[in-house]
Chain A
Amino acid sequence: MLEEVKTRLVKYGFTGEGEREIADLDPSMLLQFIDEFKDVVRFMTITCYEKDGSFYLEYHFSMGGRVLTLRVAVPEDRTVPSITPVLPSADWAEREIMDLFDLKFSNHPRPKKLIIREDAERGIYLNS
């Protein structure tokens, strides 16, 4: 079964070499990836960072001893599809990014503030 998963992962740019791999992915393909692999990979977390005025998200998944990272360039409207509807464990990771970096996740089931106060402005990691 693992061999079969490996061949399917190749089309996303994962060659199966080394303990960690990073592959670039279009945001529109994100849900398809999660849907296809949610039973074989374990969601770890999402890292968000700002580089040269653009935002990037890195989604990390664990598969046995290996880590698969999907790097997604956030579009200019700062919105990416939420993966929480298919993968409930991403809930807090996405809400934290909303609070810290003021990005939007479309279709998030409960986009409430998690880390910051209700009356605080989102994006506390920006402009400082």
Chain B
Amino acid sequence: MGYRVPLGPYHPAFEEGEYIELELEGEMVVDAEIKIGFIHRAIEKSATRRTFIKDLGLIERVCGICSYHHSWAYCLAVEKAAGLEVPVRAEYIRVLTGELERIHSHLMYLGAMAHKMGFDTLFMYTWSGREAVMDMLELFSGNRVNYAINTLGGVRRDLDEDTASQIRSALDSLEDLALKLKDTWSKDASILARTRNVGVITKEQAHMLSVVGPTARGSGIHEDIRKTAPYSVYPDLEFDMVVLEDGDVWSRTFVRVLETLESIRIARQVLAKIPSGPIKNPKPVIKIEPRNVMSRVEAPRGELIDHLITDGSDRPFRLKIRTPTLVNLPATEFMMRGCKLADAPVIVGHIDPCMSCMDR
């Protein structure tokens, strides 16, 4: 006879509020059900009450980790609807910010995963690197979390040579750390024991669950919006799409380790290739003709979608934000079925859930 165990809404393994009800038989999970909405702020609704430029500040606050990608997706949608060109230099600065954010987000995730498995030395070590990335972001944007660097038609701050050289040297030490992480995550016996063959989903199951980002790429799905539906200047930059076939917690985590190295590679190319020129299109966005546009970006957790419908006024008629966690988290309900109770927090945690993103 089974019994039910609640996890959350406040639990040491979760950074934010979520509620999971597990149905157990002995130590085995037979069913799992997740309830969300603890951080719902009706941001989509609020966005229809503000003008396009005022919404930028609101949309950036959907999430505290991938805040930049939210503002980027929103800018892309508005620029597409308004037909606003973005200067090339601004595109490079956007890619640099995006990749630094990806590094910081992936390092945060890798640290948190180590912590969930009780490996606190690795947790502290990983987060020391994340601190260095946040310092870099602060250096050129002025902020550690909500960078507020995007604006409609470009970016708000330029990158000078002094800052660029500081970022370059910080990237070198970051690469050392990422290589050490690669070594640890591929060899450490306790990590492998906790993550290998845990929460397995096949490529076909991953497709049916519609998972995105590293969660999909760890199951052998070749999809990275930077490659499959390129935006900004990604087509001019060289990087590999990281895909692993095993489909377990380890492979989906290791995708992120390798992606950190790819992001460092992209950031270096940006610093080498960035052209001179203006950083913002001076044309203001006031009213937008009736349009129905969609923008997609590859946020650290996967495909982030902004669907914008305008009606000729100075504010969005409808703005729908589909965050990656919104499709990745329900997939964990499926992954948890048949696992052991002790693996449940690791399975939920390994998709890098972002509750604020998801609840909006």
Interface residues of A (CB under 8 A from B): 19-20, 22, 38-39, 42-45, 47, 49, 51, 58, 60, 62, 64-67, 69, 87-89, 91-93, 99, 114-117, 124-125, 128
Contact = CB atoms under 8 A, between A and B. Distances in A.
Interface in B228-287: 228-230
A47 B210 contact: no
Contact of B207 (A42, A58, A117, A128): A42
A99 B223 CA distance: 31
Given A65-B229, A65-B230, A87-B210, 12 more contacts: A20-B294, A42-B207, A45-B326, A45-B327, A47-B320, A88-B334, A89-B209, A89-B330, A92-B326, A114-B36, A115-B359, A125-B45
B166 interface: no
Interface in B80-137: none
Given A92-B330, A115-B359, A38 B37 contact: no
B-side binding surface: helix, strand, loop or mixed? mixed
A49 B290 CA distance: 15
Interface of B: 35-37, 40, 42, 44-45, 207-210, 223, 228-230, 292-294, 296, 303, 305, 307, 309, 317-318, 320, 322, 326-327, 330-331, 334, 359
Contact of A60 (B305, B318, B359): B305
Given A49-B318, A60-B307, A67-B294, A116 B37 contact: yes
Ranked nearest first, the 10 interchain pairs of A and B with the lowest CB-CB distance are A89-B210, A115-B37, A65-B229, A45-B322, A47-B320, A49-B318, A43-B210, A65-B228, A47-B307, A92-B330
Contacts of B322: 44-45, 60
